[in-house]
Amino acid sequence: MGAQRDPTTLSNYGLWRTRHTAVDFRIDFDRKRLQGSVTLRLERQTADAGAEVVLDTRFVEVTGARVAHTSTSSDTSTSTAAEWELKPHRDPLGAPLHVTLPAAAVGATPVGAALDLTLDVATTDRCTALQWLTPAQTSNRAHPYMFSQCQAINCRSIFPCQDTPDVKSTFGFRLTSSLPTVASGVPVGDHDPTPGVEKVYEFAQEVPIPSYLFAVASGDIRMRRIGARSKVASGPDEVDGCQWELQRDMDRFLEVAEKLIFPYRWGEYNVLVLPPSFPYGGMENPIFTFATPTIISGDRQNVDVIAHELAHSWSGNLVSNASWEHFWLNEGWTTYLERRIGAGLHGEPEFDFSSIIGWKALEDAVAQFGPDHEYTKLIISHKDVDPEDVYSTVAYEKGFHFLYYLDRLVGRANFDKFIPHYFTKWAGKSLDSFEFKQTFVDFFNGLGDEALKQKLITIDWEDKLYSPGLPPKPEFDTTLAQQCYDLANKWKESSFEPSPKDIEGLTANQLQVFLGAVQEQKGLSAERAQKLGAVYGFTASQNVEVLAAYYRIALEAGDRSCVPGVAALLGRVGRMKFVRALFRALNEVDRDSALDTFEKNKDFYHPICRGMVEKDLKI
């Protein structure tokens, strides 16, 4: 078999590799399924590739297979039925689909040539990638809604594929729906919906992408322009608010990112603000970032999520981690670029301020796993592991800190020369940590600077990539944070009498730092926690970041009076960042309330989120 380095796929992509993927699906809201066909253009990789193609699936219904190939003698295309067998399912990777290619098709496909495998498929009610919302679960309660979330290995539950970030292909979409539809491609043809009438929505993705970036959403979606190359899409009642929230910064984000790296290569950059059950802050699906509605806070304080997802257009989407073992290459780079974008817009102290917030999140993640846990390393073994179980802030923040260490080691001016070199060299490809190391060392050795060469020798790559726990903490510029720390220190004294004036002029991010510092101090009584929320108005905050941070303090203080508020928040927000932390904290204070709240809301949560909370609560 050709070289394969991803343990989370059962496919034989080292022998036959997908170069183009074409889906033709009908979105069936009544039966809650996608049904149709997928065609994979498979390129032969080796002379001994054989006649068997193995694809990843998980709870997908397959009803037919056929292979089209071009005869080498006549240039005519021939389509032949193919035999296939779905092997037994095993968690977490699913059931491999073994397809036997017709001998004539294999014989007519030399190394480097391709054939087309078409499969007739339908999703099932066990699909982990799709969430189907009833009209009652949407804001205006008028129409159903469907959206996908394929990262990390959930695309295989929509259609058979080589479900690994080590394989990239171009995509074509034909999606038939009775409601407006978006996908991770550039719209092709007429997309004006006709109410109540099924329509074919077509999209093309000409930049090769991995399977986890396949995305589709359909519902009562409206569009507004937020920039020269950007639109926002959302429900009819929310779209104007979303436009206001994003239109000030969208073009500025793009401008700073392009100066830092190189011009944006995807054409459009649009944002789909999803219903509240979406489990992530954002998902960097090309052309259409899928975003949580928690970024729409009415104060433009949470839009840095969009800077993060935009940065993914280079790190993750254009240059991808070869397997989820090297996830830090996606998220560490993106977090670094997000902070550089923030500094470009708001000044250098913003970089450090965001890093301070991130350091607190990293400390929390390491504390949750334990400082010696495998999942607190940069490179994490994924053998017989579900990537969802590994997912945490570690890849983001520890990955950021490794890049920031390299930035400081070689100097910002030198590192800024490396950034476009790295993304140019690996554009359209996938790499692992060892290829990153070689790229970095080769680049700086190639500059011919002896002082730089000596600095490279000091990097302990083994330690950086494989040591668990927290990295060394840099000296951050605390200009924007000091006011928060000073106020938090006052709360160490039980005699301190707070006033609403204490937090006048603080941004939502500064409030998060303040609350994080108070939480770190521990020891707050339930009575003092109540006062904290009441005097500063946190319980009435419309900013979910602030509200959730306050509720974690209140729960850790044993303040049972906050339980109804926590339960209410868990009934309207599905973002895992908040849901998992609040359920864990609520479980410590009142397990019955935690179980009851989960039972009431489990159908509201996305399948990924629901599964993770079940593990957190040990249900």
Contacts of 287-293 with CB under 8 Å at 24 or more apart are 287/183, 287/184, 287/185, 287/186, 287/203, 287/205, 288/182, 288/183, 288/184, 288/215, 288/217, 288/233, 290/147, 290/149, 290/215, 290/217, 292/575, 293/234, 293/238
- Say if residue 576 carries a ligand binding annotation: yes
Rounded-to-integer distance, Cα 141 and Cα 545, Å: 26
Q: Is 285 helix (H, G, I), strand (E, B) or coil?
A: coil
Total Cβ atoms within 10 A of residue 321: 26
- Say if residue 360 carries a ligand binding annotation: no
What distances in angstroms separate CA 126 from CA 58, 163, 173, 180, 280, one per listed residue? 8, 17, 23, 25, 20
- Say if residue 284 carries a ligand binding annotation: yes
Is the torsion defined by CA of 312, 283, 510, 560 positive or negative? negative
Q: Which letter does DSSP use for residue 295 in this model?
A: G
Is the torsion defined by CA of 3, 6, 8, 11 positive or negative? negative
Out of 201, 396, 536, 551, pick the active-site residue: 396
Output Rg (C-alpha) for the chain, integer angstroms: 25
- Say if residue 527 carries a ligand binding annotation: no
Out of 202, 238, 245, 309, pick the active-site residue: 309
- Say if residue 280 carries a ligand binding annotation: yes
∠ CA 283-258-577 to the nearest 5 degrees? 25
- Say if residue 1 carries a ligand binding annotation: no
- Name the token pair of 55: 């694809």
- Name the token pair of 574: 């599905």
Map tokens 């490179």 to a residue: 379
Q: Label residue 75 left, alpha or beta by phi (over 0 means left) and psi (-120 to 50 means alpha).
A: left
Our measurement of the distance from residue 204's CA atom to the centroid of its chain's CA atoms, rounded to an integer in Å, reads 21
Q: Is 269 helix (H, G, I), strand (E, B) or coil?
A: coil
Q: Is 396 known to be catalytic?
A: yes
- Say if residue 382 carries a ligand binding annotation: no
Rounded-to-integer distance, Cα 120 and Cα 584, Å: 42
Q: Is 325 known to be catalytic?
A: no
- Say if residue 446 carries a ligand binding annotation: no
- Say if residue 14 carries a ligand binding annotation: no
- Say if residue 591 carries a ligand binding annotation: no
| Helix-helix angle 544-556:526-536, to 10 degrees | 160
∠ CA 450-454-458 to the nearest 5 degrees? 165
- Say if residue 282 carries a ligand binding annotation: yes
- Say if residue 312 carries a ligand binding annotation: yes
- Say if residue 325 carries a ligand binding annotation: no
Is the torsion defined by CA of 428, 315, 610, 292 positive or negative? negative
Q: Which letter does DSSP use for residue 284 in this model?
A: -
Catalytic residues: 309, 396
Q: Mark the binding-site residues for Zn(2+), compressed into ranges.
A: 308, 312, 331
Q: Mark the binding-site residues, compressed into ranges.
A: 149-151, 279-284, 308, 312, 331, 575-577
Q: Mark the binding-site residues for a peptide, compressed into ranges.
A: 149-151, 279-284, 575-577
